[in-house]
């Protein structure tokens, strides 16, 4: 059976981008594959959360994984820092990751541009740690959104380079995965770019948002004064709302509003109302389970303990083999 690995950073509540890019695929994949889903708490250290925020957000992601339907009997759910073998592998893999290739990574360049005062080494070597998350379990499929595609390419580069350096056929190649024919990029409500916490709360629909909050955010989403000619190309802000409708609404609803747009008969108020109602429906199954799961501390710690044991067992096999391949065998 093929092995699947993926993770989400512990930076707060999960949004529709995390859901459609990653989490919804996790839930389906656990029926078919040997799955490891983790909370990337070490990755989130690049932005220096307070200790209180870090432990709260790790817990939040575990709760939302479970609320979305990840079943700890079928998948291994664990916290990245509970598996120190990953950090050890990261040390080894850093020895053959090169400054030039790390500096060229798009996500790194974006982060440098957005926050030039915090260009730390952890940010630079973020893709190496991510590669280790995947390589440690010999995964071949990695469910992620479009923004992570380059990191998967880098994972293949690092794994292949290790194989060449030590003349072994050890690490497998892994590929970004989505059940839809393309990797997903969910846009935000701010008229530009993808949905992401760094673009502000107003641009994100969180899985835990109440129906009232969802309605308010969608009604305030950036739009324009409407088409003036039939079949006019959609500006980015409108295209984004249609892209969101494509994932949360039925095909009929989508074509109904698309036809209205093309005939210059669309009323954005109605369009947004429908979009908001469909988002409320799409998020309801997860939202409705969050509270009960969140209240059950005993269950949460059981899940995390079991996951840590299973993940560490798998990681331990790898790290022992890696030490031996490298030549770190004790006399
Ligand atoms: P993070 O927390 O930034 O994102 C978690 C997942 O959500 C997806 N995602 C999106 N997909 C579509 N549209 C969006 N607007 C959107 N926003 C977020 C991301 O693509 C990702 O799948 N580096 C990873 C965390 C990680 C990881 C790994 C993933 C660390 N190690 C190993 C897979 C395998 C990340 O992007 O986290």
> Taking residues 64-71, what's their average pLDDT?
98
Q: How far is the CA of 146 from the centre of ligand 1 (A)?
A: 9
Q: What angle do CA 129, 293, 38 make, to 5 degrees?
A: 10
Contacts of 200 (CB under 8 A, 6+ apart): 190
DSSP code per residue over 30-51: TTTSEEEEEEEHHHHGGG---H
Do 304 and 258 lie in one domain? The reply is no
- Residue whose CB lies within 8 A of the most ligand 1 atoms, among 8, 62, 137, for a mutation test: 8
The atom of ligand 1 lying closest to the CA of 40 is: 30
pLDDT of 330 reads 74
Q: Does residue 331 carry a pLDDT above 90?
A: no
Q: Is residue 76 part of a domain?
A: yes
Q: Which atom of ligand 1 is nearest to the CA of 186?
A: 13
Rg (CA), the chain: 21
Q: Are residues 220 and 313 in the same domain?
A: no
Q: What is the pLDDT of residue 302?
A: 98
Q: Is the pTM of this model over 0.95?
A: yes
Same domain, 76 and 38: yes
Domain extent for 245: 197-290
Based on the domain organization, do 218 and 86 belong to the same domain? no
Residues 201 and 83 in one domain: no
Report CA(16)–ligand 1 centroid distance (Å).
12
User: Do residues 70 and 124 both lie within one domain?
Assistant: yes
Please tell me the distance from the alpha carbon of residue 258 to that of residue 227, in angstroms, as a whole number: 12
Beta bridge partners of 45: none
Q: Are residues 157 and 15 in the same domain?
A: yes
Which atom belonging to ligand 1 lies closest to the Cα atom of 145?
20
Rounded Cα distance, 24 and 198, in Å:
22
CATH of the domain at 57: 3.40.50.620
- The token pair that represents 29 in the structure block: 């994949």
What is the number of structural domains in the chain? 2
- Cα separations (Å) of 136 from 52, 126, 165? 29, 15, 18
Place of tokens 């991510």: 130
Could you give the CA distance from residue 187 to residue 21 in angstroms, rounded to a whole number? Answer: 11
Residues 221 and 158 in one domain: no
In percent, the amount of the chain with pLDDT more than 70 equals 100
Which pLDDT score is estimated for 80? 98
Residue 320 is among the residues annotated as catalytic for this protein? no
Q: Are residues 138 and 16 in the same domain?
A: yes
- Whether ipTM > 0.90 holds is yes
Q: What backbone torsions phi and psi does residue 69 show, to the nearest 5 degrees?
A: 115, 10
Q: Which CATH number does the domain housing residue 271 bear?
A: 1.10.240.10
pLDDT computed for residue 264 by the predictor? 96
Predicted pLDDT at 329: 80
Give 175-209 pLDDT, tens digit per residue: 999 999 899 999 999 998 899 988 889 999 999 99
Phi, psi of 8 (to 5 degrees): -130, 135
DSSP result, 213-241: HHHHHHHTS---S--SSTTPPPPHHHHHH
Could you tell me if 279 and 306 lie in one domain?
Answer: no
CA-wise closest residue to 134 among 155, 150, 106, 153: 155
Q: What confidence tens digit (pLDDT) does each residue in 253-274 have?
A: 999 999 999 999 999 999 999 9
Let me know whether 201 and 322 are in one domain: no
Whether the pLDDT of residue 128 is over 90: the answer is: yes
Question: Does 134 map to a domain?
Answer: yes
């Amino acid at each position: 059976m093929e092995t699947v690995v993926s993770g989400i950073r512990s930076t707060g509540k999960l949004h529709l981008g995390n859901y459609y890019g990653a989490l919804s695929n996790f839930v389906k994949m656990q029926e078919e594959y040997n799955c490891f889903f983790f909370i990337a708490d070490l990755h989130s250290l690049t932005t220096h959360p307070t200790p209180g925020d870090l432990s709260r957000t790790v817990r939040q992601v575990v709760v939302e994984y479970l609320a979305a339907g990840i079943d700890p009997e079928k998948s291994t759910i664990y916290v990245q820092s509970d598996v120190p073998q990953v950090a050890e592998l990261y040390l080894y893999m850093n020895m053959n990751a090169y400054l030039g290739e790390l500096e060229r990574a798009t996500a790194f360049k974006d982060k440098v541009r957005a926050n030039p005062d915090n260009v730390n080494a952890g940010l630079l070597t973020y893709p190496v740690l991510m590669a280790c998350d995947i390589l440690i379990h010999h995964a071949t499929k990695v469910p992620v959104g479009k923004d992570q595609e380059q990191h998967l390419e880098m994972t293949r580069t690092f794994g292949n380079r290790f194989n060449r350096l030590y003349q072994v056929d050890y690490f497998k190649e892994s590929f970004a995965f989505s059940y839809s024919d393309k990797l997903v990029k969910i846009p935000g409500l701010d008229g530009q770019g993808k949905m992401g916490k760094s673009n502000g709360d107003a641009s994100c629909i969180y899985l835990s948002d109440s129906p009232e909050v969802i309605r308010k955010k969608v009604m305030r989403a950036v739009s324009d004064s409407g088409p003036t000619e039939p079949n006019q190309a959609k500006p980015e802000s409108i295209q984004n709302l249609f892209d969101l409708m494509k994932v949360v609404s039925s095909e009929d609803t989508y074509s109904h509003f698309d036809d209205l747009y093309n005939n210059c008969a669309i009323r954005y108020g109605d369009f947004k109302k429908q979009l908001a109602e469909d988002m409320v429906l799409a998020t309801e199954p997860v939202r409705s389970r969050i509270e009960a799961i969140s209240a059950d501390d005993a269950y949460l710690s059981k899940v995390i303990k079991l996951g840590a044991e299973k993940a560490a067992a798998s990681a331990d096999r790898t790290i022992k083999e890696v030490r031996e391949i490298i030549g770190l065998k004790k006399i």
